[in-house]
Amino acid sequence: MISPLAYVHPEAVIGENVEIAPFVYIDKNVIIGDNNKIMANASILYGSRIGNNNVIFPGAVIGGIPQDLKFKGEETTAEIGDNNTIRENVTINRGTAAKGKTIVGNNNLLMEGVHVAHDALVGNGCIIGNSTKMAGEIIIDDNAIISGAVLMHQFCRVGSHVMIQGGSRFSKDIPPYIIAGREPIAYSGINIIGLRRRGFSNEVIENIHNAYRIIYQSGLNTTDALAKVEEEIEITPEIQYIIEFIRGSQRGIIK
Protein backbone atom coordinates (compact mmCIF):
# COMPACT_ATOMS: atom_id res chain seq x y z
CA MET A 1 0.00 0.00 0.00
CA ILE A 2 3.07 2.29 0.18
CA SER A 3 4.56 3.25 -3.17
CA PRO A 4 8.32 2.77 -3.48
CA LEU A 5 8.35 6.25 -4.97
CA ALA A 6 7.05 7.80 -1.72
CA TYR A 7 9.35 8.98 1.08
CA VAL A 8 8.33 7.81 4.56
CA HIS A 9 10.68 8.73 7.40
CA PRO A 10 11.67 5.62 9.37
CA GLU A 11 10.43 7.22 12.61
CA ALA A 12 6.97 7.98 11.22
CA VAL A 13 4.17 5.83 12.65
CA ILE A 14 1.80 4.49 10.00
CA GLY A 15 -1.38 2.56 10.86
CA GLU A 16 -3.00 -0.33 9.04
CA ASN A 17 -4.41 -0.26 5.53
CA VAL A 18 -2.91 3.12 4.65
CA GLU A 19 -2.50 3.86 0.95
CA ILE A 20 0.43 6.14 0.17
CA ALA A 21 0.81 7.16 -3.48
CA PRO A 22 4.00 8.04 -5.41
CA PHE A 23 5.85 11.22 -4.46
CA VAL A 24 4.18 11.58 -1.07
CA TYR A 25 6.52 12.99 1.61
CA ILE A 26 6.00 11.89 5.22
CA ASP A 27 8.31 13.49 7.77
CA LYS A 28 9.53 12.29 11.14
CA ASN A 29 7.37 12.92 14.22
CA VAL A 30 4.27 12.04 12.20
CA ILE A 31 1.52 9.67 13.34
CA ILE A 32 -1.04 8.42 10.82
CA GLY A 33 -3.95 6.20 11.82
CA ASP A 34 -5.74 3.43 9.92
CA ASN A 35 -7.50 3.33 6.55
CA ASN A 36 -6.18 6.61 5.22
CA LYS A 37 -5.59 7.37 1.55
CA ILE A 38 -2.83 9.85 0.77
CA MET A 39 -2.59 10.82 -2.89
CA ALA A 40 0.43 11.79 -4.97
CA ASN A 41 2.54 14.80 -4.04
CA ALA A 42 0.91 15.36 -0.64
CA SER A 43 3.27 16.36 2.17
CA ILE A 44 2.70 15.31 5.78
CA LEU A 45 5.23 17.29 7.76
CA TYR A 46 6.76 17.26 11.23
CA GLY A 47 4.21 17.30 14.03
CA SER A 48 1.25 16.01 12.02
CA ARG A 49 -1.28 13.74 13.72
CA ILE A 50 -3.84 12.16 11.41
CA GLY A 51 -6.72 9.94 12.58
CA ASN A 52 -8.58 7.27 10.62
CA ASN A 53 -10.44 7.07 7.31
CA ASN A 54 -9.22 10.34 5.84
CA VAL A 55 -8.64 11.06 2.16
CA ILE A 56 -5.88 13.56 1.39
CA PHE A 57 -5.69 14.76 -2.20
CA PRO A 58 -2.64 15.74 -4.31
CA GLY A 59 -0.65 18.77 -3.27
CA ALA A 60 -2.06 19.06 0.25
CA VAL A 61 0.46 20.13 2.91
CA ILE A 62 -0.28 19.24 6.51
CA GLY A 63 1.93 20.35 9.40
CA GLY A 64 3.78 23.19 7.70
CA ILE A 65 5.39 25.63 10.11
CA PRO A 66 3.20 28.62 11.02
CA GLN A 67 3.27 31.76 8.91
CA ASP A 68 3.82 33.70 12.11
CA LEU A 69 7.04 35.56 12.78
CA LYS A 70 6.66 34.85 16.52
CA PHE A 71 7.15 31.13 15.87
CA LYS A 72 10.57 30.05 17.14
CA GLY A 73 10.54 26.35 16.30
CA GLU A 74 8.65 25.18 19.39
CA GLU A 75 7.23 21.65 19.48
CA THR A 76 3.66 21.90 18.20
CA THR A 77 1.23 19.77 16.22
CA ALA A 78 -1.36 19.81 13.44
CA GLU A 79 -4.10 17.35 14.39
CA ILE A 80 -6.62 15.92 11.94
CA GLY A 81 -9.48 13.74 13.20
CA ASP A 82 -11.40 11.01 11.35
CA ASN A 83 -13.37 10.79 8.11
CA ASN A 84 -12.16 14.05 6.61
CA THR A 85 -11.78 14.84 2.92
CA ILE A 86 -8.89 17.22 2.33
CA ARG A 87 -8.82 18.29 -1.29
CA GLU A 88 -6.03 19.49 -3.57
CA ASN A 89 -3.55 22.08 -2.28
CA VAL A 90 -5.11 22.48 1.16
CA THR A 91 -2.60 23.78 3.71
CA ILE A 92 -2.96 23.14 7.44
CA ASN A 93 -0.21 24.73 9.53
CA ARG A 94 0.80 23.46 12.94
CA GLY A 95 0.39 25.48 16.11
CA THR A 96 2.56 28.01 17.91
CA ALA A 97 3.29 28.61 21.58
CA ALA A 98 -0.11 30.34 21.79
CA LYS A 99 -2.12 27.10 21.82
CA GLY A 100 0.36 24.44 20.80
CA LYS A 101 -1.81 22.81 18.13
CA THR A 102 -4.03 23.33 15.15
CA ILE A 103 -7.08 21.05 15.11
CA VAL A 104 -9.40 19.90 12.34
CA GLY A 105 -12.09 17.61 13.81
CA ASN A 106 -14.10 14.84 12.16
CA ASN A 107 -16.26 14.49 9.05
CA ASN A 108 -15.17 17.73 7.42
CA LEU A 109 -14.79 18.63 3.75
CA LEU A 110 -12.01 21.11 3.02
CA MET A 111 -12.20 21.99 -0.67
CA GLU A 112 -9.33 22.91 -2.98
CA GLY A 113 -6.96 25.62 -1.81
CA VAL A 114 -8.29 26.06 1.73
CA HIS A 115 -5.78 27.43 4.25
CA VAL A 116 -6.05 26.63 7.95
CA ALA A 117 -3.57 28.77 9.88
CA HIS A 118 -1.75 28.13 13.15
CA ASP A 119 -3.72 27.36 16.31
CA ALA A 120 -7.05 27.26 14.46
CA LEU A 121 -9.84 25.01 15.69
CA VAL A 122 -12.22 23.59 13.07
CA GLY A 123 -15.02 21.49 14.56
CA ASN A 124 -16.93 18.56 13.08
CA GLY A 125 -19.13 18.24 10.02
CA CYS A 126 -18.01 21.50 8.42
CA ILE A 127 -17.87 22.26 4.70
CA ILE A 128 -15.30 24.86 3.71
CA GLY A 129 -15.30 26.07 0.10
CA ASN A 130 -12.53 26.50 -2.43
CA SER A 131 -9.79 29.02 -1.66
CA THR A 132 -11.21 30.07 1.71
CA LYS A 133 -8.45 31.36 4.00
CA MET A 134 -8.60 31.18 7.78
CA ALA A 135 -6.13 33.18 9.85
CA GLY A 136 -4.52 32.19 13.12
CA GLU A 137 -6.46 31.16 16.23
CA ILE A 138 -9.88 31.18 14.58
CA ILE A 139 -12.65 28.87 15.77
CA ILE A 140 -15.30 27.25 13.58
CA ASP A 141 -18.01 25.40 15.49
CA ASP A 142 -19.65 22.20 14.24
CA ASN A 143 -21.68 21.95 11.03
CA ALA A 144 -20.79 25.36 9.64
CA ILE A 145 -20.84 25.87 5.88
CA ILE A 146 -18.36 28.44 4.60
CA SER A 147 -18.52 29.11 0.86
CA GLY A 148 -15.59 29.75 -1.47
CA ALA A 149 -13.06 32.59 -1.32
CA VAL A 150 -14.01 33.68 2.20
CA LEU A 151 -11.40 35.60 4.22
CA MET A 152 -11.55 35.08 7.99
CA HIS A 153 -9.62 37.45 10.28
CA GLN A 154 -7.51 36.06 13.11
CA PHE A 155 -9.24 35.32 16.43
CA CYS A 156 -12.72 35.27 14.85
CA ARG A 157 -15.29 32.60 15.68
CA VAL A 158 -18.05 31.14 13.50
CA GLY A 159 -21.02 29.49 15.19
CA SER A 160 -22.62 26.13 14.43
CA HIS A 161 -25.01 25.69 11.50
CA VAL A 162 -23.96 28.98 9.92
CA MET A 163 -23.85 29.55 6.18
CA ILE A 164 -21.47 32.23 4.88
CA GLN A 165 -21.77 33.68 1.38
CA GLY A 166 -18.88 33.17 -1.02
CA GLY A 167 -16.39 35.99 -1.35
CA SER A 168 -17.18 37.40 2.09
CA ARG A 169 -14.59 38.81 4.44
CA PHE A 170 -15.08 39.49 8.10
CA SER A 171 -13.26 40.52 11.25
CA LYS A 172 -16.09 39.98 13.75
CA ASP A 173 -17.74 36.82 15.04
CA ILE A 174 -20.67 35.20 13.24
CA PRO A 175 -23.21 33.81 15.73
CA PRO A 176 -24.82 30.39 15.26
CA TYR A 177 -27.73 29.36 13.02
CA ILE A 178 -27.61 32.37 10.70
CA ILE A 179 -26.85 33.21 7.08
CA ALA A 180 -24.13 35.84 6.70
CA GLY A 181 -23.74 37.64 3.40
CA ARG A 182 -23.83 40.89 1.42
CA GLU A 183 -21.03 43.47 1.23
CA PRO A 184 -20.03 44.46 3.84
CA ILE A 185 -20.99 41.20 5.52
CA ALA A 186 -24.16 41.35 7.60
CA TYR A 187 -26.86 39.24 9.22
CA SER A 188 -29.10 37.95 6.41
CA GLY A 189 -31.63 35.85 8.30
CA ILE A 190 -31.45 32.44 9.90
CA ASN A 191 -30.32 29.33 8.04
CA ILE A 192 -33.81 27.80 7.88
CA ILE A 193 -33.10 25.27 5.12
CA GLY A 194 -29.90 24.11 6.80
CA LEU A 195 -31.61 23.75 10.16
CA ARG A 196 -34.48 21.73 8.68
CA ARG A 197 -32.01 19.45 6.92
CA ARG A 198 -30.28 18.88 10.26
CA GLY A 199 -33.56 17.85 11.90
CA PHE A 200 -34.38 20.97 13.91
CA SER A 201 -38.10 21.14 14.71
CA ASN A 202 -40.28 24.03 13.54
CA GLU A 203 -40.71 25.09 17.17
CA VAL A 204 -36.96 25.30 17.76
CA ILE A 205 -36.44 27.16 14.49
CA GLU A 206 -39.15 29.67 15.43
CA ASN A 207 -37.50 30.24 18.82
CA ILE A 208 -34.16 30.88 17.12
CA HIS A 209 -35.85 33.24 14.66
CA ASN A 210 -37.56 35.17 17.45
CA ALA A 211 -34.30 35.50 19.37
CA TYR A 212 -32.54 36.98 16.36
CA ARG A 213 -35.43 39.36 15.68
CA ILE A 214 -34.71 40.84 19.10
CA ILE A 215 -30.94 40.80 18.68
CA TYR A 216 -30.86 42.33 15.20
CA GLN A 217 -34.16 44.15 14.65
CA SER A 218 -35.28 45.57 17.99
CA GLY A 219 -32.94 48.56 17.93
CA LEU A 220 -31.55 47.58 21.34
CA ASN A 221 -27.86 47.39 22.10
CA THR A 222 -26.45 43.88 22.41
CA THR A 223 -26.53 43.75 26.19
CA ASP A 224 -30.16 44.85 26.42
CA ALA A 225 -31.18 42.64 23.49
CA LEU A 226 -29.76 39.55 25.19
CA ALA A 227 -31.53 40.47 28.42
CA LYS A 228 -34.81 40.75 26.49
CA VAL A 229 -34.19 37.37 24.85
CA GLU A 230 -33.78 35.84 28.30
CA GLU A 231 -37.04 37.44 29.42
CA GLU A 232 -39.18 36.59 26.39
CA ILE A 233 -37.80 33.42 24.76
CA GLU A 234 -37.84 29.92 26.21
CA ILE A 235 -34.25 29.09 27.15
CA THR A 236 -33.66 25.90 25.20
CA PRO A 237 -30.09 24.64 24.61
CA GLU A 238 -30.08 26.43 21.25
CA ILE A 239 -31.06 29.79 22.78
CA GLN A 240 -28.55 29.32 25.59
CA TYR A 241 -25.83 28.69 23.01
CA ILE A 242 -26.73 31.90 21.15
CA ILE A 243 -26.64 33.93 24.38
CA GLU A 244 -23.35 32.44 25.56
CA PHE A 245 -21.76 32.80 22.11
CA ILE A 246 -22.60 36.51 21.85
CA ARG A 247 -21.77 37.34 25.47
CA GLY A 248 -18.45 35.55 25.13
CA SER A 249 -17.48 37.25 21.88
CA GLN A 250 -14.18 39.07 22.13
CA ARG A 251 -14.42 40.78 18.75
CA GLY A 252 -18.16 41.52 18.72
CA ILE A 253 -20.64 40.07 16.24
CA ILE A 254 -21.47 41.10 12.70
CA LYS A 255 -24.41 43.49 12.34
Q: Which of 33, 51, 123, 136 is catalytic?
A: 136
Q: How many residues does the chain have?
A: 255
Beta bridge partners of 173: 253
Q: Which of 27, 118, 129, 159 is catalytic?
A: 118
Among 147, 191, 192, 193, smallest CA distance to 170 is for 147
Q: Would you call 119 a catalytic residue per the annotation?
A: yes
What is the C-alpha to C-alpha distance for residues 225 and 182, in angstroms, rounded to an integer? 23
Which class for 219: exposed (0-12), middle (13-18), buried (19 or more C-beta within 10 A)?
Answer: exposed
Q: Which of 27, 68, 119, 141 is catalytic?
A: 119
Q: Would you call 136 a catalytic residue per the annotation?
A: yes
Q: Would you call 248 a catalytic residue per the annotation?
A: no
What is the C-alpha to C-alpha distance for residues 220 and 77, in angstroms, rounded to an integer? 43
Residues designated catalytic: 118-119, 136
